[in-house]
A and B are shown apart, each in its own frame.
Chain A
Amino acid sequence: MEEKFTLKKVGEKRYLLDARGGVCPYPQLLTLRALSELNPGDMLEVLLDNPPSVRDIPPALQRKGYKVSEVLSVEKGVWKITITL
């Protein structure tokens, strides 16, 4: 699996999933899979450059009971979605 689709621990209870370059539906599926592996109190940050995923992931996560605390544009064409468990 490509390096960019891996989950990294970046701090105390903080994890990063780099889904840049992923076409739909992979960013959404990878995010859900990653979340299923984390624990309450963990925070997941997902990096994306795919506009439809930025549109779709927050409501999809909210429907599953996850809390999307932030959707941030980090640079032109790249967004970060932060989810707290």
Chain B
Amino acid sequence: MNENSSTSHDLKSVNCRISSEIERFVGRYSIGRDGEPLNERASLHFLRIKVPGGRLTADQLLGIADLAQKYGRGRGEVTDRQDVQLHWIEAENALEIFQRMGELGFTTDMCGQGFSGARYGDVRNIVCCPVSGIGKGELIDPYPLVKKLTNFFTGNRDFLDMPRKFKIAVSGCGSDCTRVEVNDLGLVAVKKDGEIGFTMMVGGSVGASLPGPKLAEPTFAFIKPEDAFEVVVASVEIHRDYGSRESKAKARFKWLINEWGVKKFLSVLEEKTGRKMEEYNGRLFLNEDDHRGVQPQNRRGYYYVHIPLLGGLLTAHDMINLAEVAKEYGNGELRLTPQQNIIVPNIKDKDAATRKLKRLGFQLHGSSLRWNSIGCASDFCGKTKEPHAKDAVKSVVERLETRFDHGLLNAAALKVHVSGCPNDCCAARTAVVGLHGKLFKEGVELKQHYSLLLGGDPSKSKLARQVVEKASLEDLKNGLEALLKKYLRLKRNRETLAEFCNRHTIEVLKSYLDGG
């Protein structure tokens, strides 16, 4: 055997040795980038554990607790896509982590890697109503569809090189608990002439990609439940096959929808699926249930307890405690919510369960703000300085709850979203009160300030308006207090804070923030 063929043979066996250990994880597992360049927490990588439909068992949560303790410095966070993120992940431990995740039944998405071109986009965790199958008055249980779609897309090489990521949300309860408007594709359960199905919204994304922040547009199409899987897959194929590859900035689905219009999108979809879409012109959301607190389930005698985490942070110890509560009082199941919270469902003795949770240190009372407010993981991605988003959201909510009656805050229908940087991962533009972080150079230092956006109301297709460009968190909290006092004095009947803000000019709102 000459030297060249010997070398080829050696290389082939080397390639086999390189690949065999790794191959089974490729396309199903990855770690994401943390920490550049300002990361004070010194995490280089995160692990985004995809939890399909937000549903997991107590044993799975115990497994995550174990991973958090071994590899993630004992903590994790629930994300607004119902995932669990761990940080401080070392690349060299990745394969054993992936192995363990496989044993637990989890995968990851492909995370944001920072590729420069319009490539390698995948379908992210599909957001599902967190009380699917148990919520009273639910129109349709979306979980079977979400699970089927998740199984289809996970590791599917036909969908790992799309122009950009693709985000899907499915709501079955008639409310907007899954925030469909910030997704590339949202399905909302509706009723048409007594028949239950879905209507679809497309092209939502409030990040900086072109053509800028955009709420998903209604298609006015009615989709029968049995057709929903095919319609979603065909829509993702449209993104894959027709989405712009010209640049990363133009590669989100919203760009294509903006270029085509909804009509053309539906036409292409009909061609792909071979069926004409029925029309739906009814109401989009039938109620405003945020599933907060302790609520009876559709099965008599059973309850779920929705625990607000305010930013989604959990220690491994918390995870273990929650798993044990689920086993002792529920049926061993837990649900992660798109508001970064956790639900223990299927509880019979709700009083005993809530007493136990309180003894374990979980706060179960508060205004609706506590359940509906979210903050991004800006302390890890490295684009921000203190005060970070999760600390900021906690601080704002706690300030407002100590100053105002909780009933009044509930009636104001407040939601606070805090994004630590202009990427706006927590969609501050869709919140009634949005804080949008940015770094400013002051002398030789970089300081974290926030802009304030007010009046986001996706149900009325309204993005929040920027009212303050740059302020410290403390100044913004003082301003919000002043604004709320004004709102409570001047509001009309049952007017929400969003409605109040949207009938005033920015100049007037500024004066209210200043105490005028």
With both beta carbons as reference points, the residue of chain B lying nearest to A49 in the complex is identified as: B115
Q: A1-43: contact bitstring with B at CB < 8 Å (1 yes, 0 no)? A: 1000111110000000000010111101110111001000000
CB of B90 to closest CB in A, whole Å:
9
The verdict on B306 contacting chain A, using a C-beta distance below 8 Å, is: no
Chain A contacts for B36, CB-based, 8 A? 52, 55
The reply to whether B110 and A23 contact each other, CB–CB distance below 8 Å, is yes
The verdict on B17 contacting chain A, using a C-beta distance below 8 Å, is: yes
Which residues 1-60 in B have Cβ within 8 Å of A in the complex?
7-8, 11, 14-19, 21-23, 26, 30-33, 36, 44-45
Q: With the chains together, A1 CA to B26 CA distance in Å? A: 10
The verdict on B114 contacting chain A, using a C-beta distance below 8 Å, is: yes
Q: How many A-B residue pairs have CB under 8 A?
A: 93
The reply to whether B33 and A21 contact each other, CB–CB distance below 8 Å, is no
CB of A79 to closest CB in B, whole Å:
11
Q: With the chains together, A32 CA to B111 CA distance in Å? A: 22
The reply to whether B91 and A25 contact each other, CB–CB distance below 8 Å, is yes
CB of A37 to closest CB in B, whole Å:
5
User: Contact check: which of B18, B110, B161 meets A5 at CB < 8 Å?
Assistant: B18
With both beta carbons as reference points, the residue of chain B lying nearest to A76 in the complex is identified as: B116
User: Contact check: which of A9, A23, A34 meets B18 at CB < 8 Å?
Assistant: A34
Chain B contacts for A6, CB-based, 8 A? 11, 15, 18-19
The verdict on B151 contacting chain A, using a C-beta distance below 8 Å, is: no
CB of B152 to closest CB in A, whole Å:
20
The verdict on A56 contacting chain B, using a C-beta distance below 8 Å, is: yes
CB of A70 to closest CB in B, whole Å:
20
The reply to whether A52 and B94 contact each other, CB–CB distance below 8 Å, is no
Q: With the chains together, A49 CA to B117 CA distance in Å? A: 9
Q: With the chains together, A9 CA to B10 CA distance in Å? A: 10
The reply to whether B116 and A7 contact each other, CB–CB distance below 8 Å, is no
Q: B351-373: contact bitstring with A at CB < 8 Å (1 yes, 0 no)? A: 00000000000000000000000
Q: With the chains together, A37 CA to B161 CA distance in Å? A: 30
Chain A contacts for B158, CB-based, 8 A? none
Chain B contacts for A56, CB-based, 8 A? 44, 91
With both beta carbons as reference points, the residue of chain A lying nearest to B36 in the complex is identified as: A55
The reply to whether B111 and A23 contact each other, CB–CB distance below 8 Å, is yes
The verdict on A84 contacting chain B, using a C-beta distance below 8 Å, is: no
The reply to whether A1 and B23 contact each other, CB–CB distance below 8 Å, is yes
Chain A contacts for B114, CB-based, 8 A? 50-52
Q: Given the known A-B contacts A29-B91, A29-B95, are A50 and B113 also in contact in the complex, defined by CB atoms under 8 Å?
A: yes
The verdict on A60 contacting chain B, using a C-beta distance below 8 Å, is: yes
The verdict on A65 contacting chain B, using a C-beta distance below 8 Å, is: no
Q: With the chains together, A60 CA to B92 CA distance in Å? A: 9
Chain B contacts for A34, CB-based, 8 A? 14, 18
The reply to whether A52 and B19 contact each other, CB–CB distance below 8 Å, is no
The verdict on B120 contacting chain A, using a C-beta distance below 8 Å, is: yes
With both beta carbons as reference points, the residue of chain B lying nearest to A3 in the complex is identified as: B15
Q: With the chains together, A30 CA to B91 CA distance in Å? A: 11
Which residues 37-85 in A have Cβ within 8 Å of B in the complex?
37, 49-52, 55-56, 60, 76-77
Q: With the chains together, A32 CA to B7 CA distance in Å? A: 20
Q: With the chains together, A82 CA to B92 CA distance in Å? A: 20
The reply to whether A24 and B15 contact each other, CB–CB distance below 8 Å, is no
The reply to whether A77 and B22 contact each other, CB–CB distance below 8 Å, is no
Chain B contacts for A30, CB-based, 8 A? 18, 22
The reply to whether A24 and B30 contact each other, CB–CB distance below 8 Å, is yes
With both beta carbons as reference points, the residue of chain B lying nearest to A21 in the complex is identified as: B120
Chain B contacts for A7, CB-based, 8 A? 11, 14-15, 18
The reply to whether B45 and A25 contact each other, CB–CB distance below 8 Å, is yes
Q: With the chains together, A56 CA to B113 CA distance in Å? A: 13
User: Contact check: which of B7, B18, B45, B119 meets A33 at CB < 8 Å?
Assistant: B18
Q: With the chains together, A37 CA to B120 CA distance in Å? A: 29
The reply to whether B26 and A26 contact each other, CB–CB distance below 8 Å, is yes
User: Contact check: which of A24, A26, A52 meets B22 at CB < 8 Å?
Assistant: A26
Q: Given the known A-B contacts A23-B110, A26-B22, are A60 and B116 also in contact in the complex, defined by CB atoms under 8 Å?
A: no
Chain B contacts for A29, CB-based, 8 A? 22, 91-92, 94-95
User: What are 29 A-B contacts with C-beta separation under 8 Å?
Assistant: A1-B18, A5-B19, A6-B19, A7-B11, A7-B14, A9-B7, A9-B8, A21-B120, A23-B110, A24-B30, A24-B31, A24-B45, A24-B91, A24-B111, A25-B30, A25-B31, A25-B92, A30-B18, A33-B22, A34-B14, A34-B18, A37-B14, A50-B114, A51-B113, A52-B44, A52-B113, A52-B114, A77-B115, A77-B116
* Shortest Cβ-Cβ A-B pairs, 10 listed: A77-B116, A1-B19, A25-B91, A52-B33, A51-B114, A25-B94, A23-B30, A33-B18, A37-B14, A6-B15
Query: Chain A residues in contact with chain B, CB under 8 A?
Result: 1, 5-9, 21, 23-26, 28-30, 32-34, 37, 49-52, 55-56, 60, 76-77
Known interface pairs A5-B15, A24-B32, A29-B91; 5 further A-B residue pairs with C-beta atoms within 8 A, sorted by A's residue number = A6-B15, A24-B113, A25-B31, A33-B21, A56-B44
